[in-house]
Amino acid sequence: MVDKPGGMTSHDVVARARRVLSVRRVGHAGTLDPMATGLLVLGVGAATRLLGYVGGHDKTYEATIRLGQSTVTDDREGEVLTTTSAGHLDDAAVAAALAAQTGPLLQVPSSVSAVKVAGRRSYDRVRAGEEVVLEPRAVTVHGIDVHRTTRPRPDVVDVEVTVRCTAGTYIRAIARDAGAALGVGGHLTALRRTASGPFSVADAAAVEDAGAALAAGGGAGVLGLTDAARAVFPERVLAEAEATALGYGQRVPATGAPGLHAAVDGAGRLVALVEDAGSTARVVVGFPPG
Q: What is the CA radius of gyration of the chain?
A: 22
Residues 65, 77: Cα–Cα separation, whole Å: 13
Q: Which residues are catalytic?
A: 33
